[in-house]
Amino acid sequence: MTDPNLDSGRDEEPLVGDGVTAGVVRVGDTVRRPVRPFTATIHAYLRHLHGAGFSDAPIPLGFDDQGREVLSFVPGDVPREPLPAGASGEDVLVELARLVRRLHDAAQSWTPPADATWGGIPGARIVNSTADGEPLVVSHRDYCPGNVVFRDGLPAALIDFDLAKPTTRVDDLANALYYWAPLLHPADRSPAFADLDIPGRVAVFADSYGMSLAQRRALVPAATRMIHRFHVNMRAAAEVDPVFKRMWDEGVKDRLPRAETWIEREGPAITARLVA
């Protein structure tokens, strides 16, 4: 393994994604990020993924002399909102679904350590909206554009596993679809996504993942619970954290209630297409 300290003192290039984590920098072929209570758990998870054959994620390289976590830099392009028209093609959904399927299959064989610590958004009121009794898998849970690395115009790798924790496959798929179908009112989508056939896109994603009939039936209820949880938790986070306060004021406060109304109305059409 490379000694992370060999790079210290070299030029640091600030990396600003969605502005949630302050102090993310690139140093050569590595990324340095502040250590959080869940960092060791996530490094163990990433090591498992690579060992199980999923290599489209950062490699954990330890800690540097400033106490920061060191990860491999994943080459490619990370899209930003508003997403470009090229990101609205069905080929993007196909590749994302295959990527998440490979992640789930590699993650399935990992049992987190007894002292595992997980991340979450600040002040969260609802920590879990997973249906009772479902089998759990540790997965990414945050497929926002800033966490997906593209190559040649298609999703190729995932970064930023800060919100990874035990979830169900369906809940995790609902998260990916929230950002990429997307499961939003047309007024809240990137312009290139405003007029798309969302039930058709969800079905393309489901086919590419290989979703079972039971998973297809569970998707809309899972997405509905997730959007409600986002709404409650983002409101709570805005009360305790200035970064989340800014996101809330700049649009989340309108987008999430609109998304709740939208999924209530459009959910049946999505389910009908999924189980057809």
Ligand X SMILES: Nc1ncnc2c1ncn2[C@@H]1O[C@H](COP(=O)(O)OP(=O)(O)O)[C@@H](O)[C@H]1O
Residue 199 interacts with Mg ion (CB under 5 A): yes or no: no
Q: Which of residues 251-270 bind ligand X (CB under 6 A)?
A: none
Q: Is residue 69 within the footprint of Mg ion (CB under 5 A)?
A: no
Q: Is 78 in the site for ligand X (CB under 6 A)?
A: yes
Residue 119 and residue 166 in contact, taking contact as beta carbons nearer than 8 Å: no
Q: Pick the piece of the chain touching Mg ion (CB under 5 A) from 60-68, 145-153, 188-196, 254-262.
A: 145-153
Nearer to ligand X, 20 or 137 (CB): 20
Among 147, 175, 208, 233, binds ligand X (CB under 6 A): 147
* Least Cβ distance, residue 143 to Mg ion (angstroms): 10
Burial of 1 (0-12, 13-18, 19+ CB in 10 A): exposed
Taking the complex as a whole, how short is the minimal distance between the CB of residue 8 and ligand X, in angstroms?
Answer: 17
Q: CB-wise, 39 or 147, nearer to Mg ion?
A: 147
186 binds, among ligand X, Mg ion, none (CB under 5 to 8 A by kind): none
Residue from the set 4, 58, 60, 146 that interacts with Mg ion by CB under 5 A: 146
Looking up tokens 């009908």 gives 272
**Calpha distance 158→175 (Å, rounded):** 14
Give the residue with the Cβ less far from ligand X, 17 or 120.
Answer: 17
Tell me how far apart the alpha carbons of residues 181 and 201 are, in angstroms, rounded to a whole number.
6
Omega before 166 within 30 of 0, i.e. cis: no
How near is the Cβ of 204 to ligand X at its closest, in Å? 25
Q: Does 160 bind Mg ion (CB under 5 A)?
A: yes
Minimum distance, C-beta of residue 121 to Mg ion, in the bound complex (Å):
12
Contacts of 248 (CB under 8 A, 6+ apart): 234, 235, 237, 238
Q: Within 13 Å of residue 224, how many CA atoms lie on the same side as its CB?
A: 16
Least gap, CB of 199 to Mg ion (angstroms): 28
Helices (H), the chain: 39-51, 90-107, 169-180, 198-209, 213-240, 242-247, 253-275
Q: Is the dihedral of CA 204, 209, 215, 219 positive or negative?
A: negative
d(CA 131, CA 266): 21
Task: Report if residue 4 touches ligand X, rule: CB under 6 A.
Answer: no
Q: Which is nearer to ligand X, 7 or 160 (CB)?
A: 160
Q: Token digits for 139?
A: 């997965």
Residues 6+ apart with CB under 8 A from 54: 102, 103, 105, 106, 107
**Three-state DSSP state, 15:** coil
Min dist CB 57 to ligand X, Å, is 8
Output the six-digit token pair for 116: 């595992």
Q: Is 176 in the site for ligand X (CB under 6 A)?
A: no
User: Nearest approach, Cβ of 119 to Mg ion (angstroms)?
Assistant: 11
58 binds ligand X (CB under 6 A): yes
Q: How many residues bind ligand X (CB under 6 A)?
A: 18
Residues that bind ligand X (CB under 6 A): 15, 17-21, 24, 31, 58, 71, 73-74, 78, 146-147, 159-160, 162
